Chains A and B, each alone.
Chain A
Amino acid sequence: MADYEERPLLDDDAGPLIRPYMASGGRTTPSASLDLLTLVWGTGRVALSHVEPEHAEVLLLCKDPISVAEISAHMRLPAMVIKVLVSDLLERGAVAALSPDPSADTTNTTVLEALLNGLQRRL
Chain B
Amino acid sequence: MAYNGDFEAAEPRSQGLPTALKLLVAGGFGAGKTTFVGAVSEIEPLSTEETITTASIGTDDLTGVGDKRTTTVALDFGRITIDSQYILYLFGTPGQDRFWYMWNELSEGAFGAVVLADTRRLEDCFPSLDFFERRGTPFIVAVNEFEGGHDYGPEEVRAALDLPPGVPIVGCDARDPRSATMVLVTLTKHLISAASATV
Q: Tell me the nearest residue of chain A to B177, going by C-beta.
A: A122
Interface size bracket, B side: 35 or more
Q: Tell me the nearest residue of chain B to A40, going by C-beta.
A: B3
B86 touches A69 (CB 8 A): no
The minimal Cβ–Cβ distance linking B54 to chain A, given in whole angstroms, is: 14
A102 touches B51 (CB 8 A): no
CA distance A67 to B75 in the complex (A): 14
CA distance A117 to B86 in the complex (A): 11
The minimal Cβ–Cβ distance linking B183 to chain A, given in whole angstroms, is: 10
A96 touches B14 (CB 8 A): yes
CA distance A121 to B184 in the complex (A): 12
Residues of A within 8 A of B77 (CB): 36, 69, 73
The minimal Cβ–Cβ distance linking B139 to chain A, given in whole angstroms, is: 13
CA distance A44 to B14 in the complex (A): 14
B189 in the interface (beta carbon within 8 A): yes
B160 in the interface (beta carbon within 8 A): no
Residues of A within 8 A of B108 (CB): 102
Q: Mark A78-107, 1 if CB is under 8 A from B, else 0.
A: 111000000000100100111111101011
A99 touches B3 (CB 8 A): yes
A25 in the interface (beta carbon within 8 A): no
Residues of A within 8 A of B5 (CB): 43, 90, 93, 96
A43 touches B7 (CB 8 A): yes
Q: Tell me the nearest residue of chain B to A97, going by C-beta.
A: B3
**A111 touching B86 in the complex, CB below 8 Å, given contacts A39-B20, A45-B9, A116-B188:** yes
**A116 touching B17 in the complex, CB below 8 Å, given contacts A43-B9, A79-B51, A96-B10:** no
**A112 touching B192 in the complex, CB below 8 Å, given contacts A73-B48, A93-B7, A100-B20:** yes
Where the two chains meet, the residues of B that have a C-beta atom closer than 8 Å to any C-beta of A are 1-3, 5, 7, 9-10, 13-14, 17-22, 43, 46-51, 70, 72, 75, 77, 79-83, 85-86, 88-89, 91, 108-112, 177-178, 181-182, 184-185, 188-189, 191-192, 194-196, 198-199
Where the two chains meet, the residues of A that have a C-beta atom closer than 8 Å to any C-beta of B are 28, 32-33, 36-37, 39, 41, 43-45, 65, 67, 69-70, 72-74, 78-80, 90, 93, 96-102, 104, 106-109, 111-120, 122-123
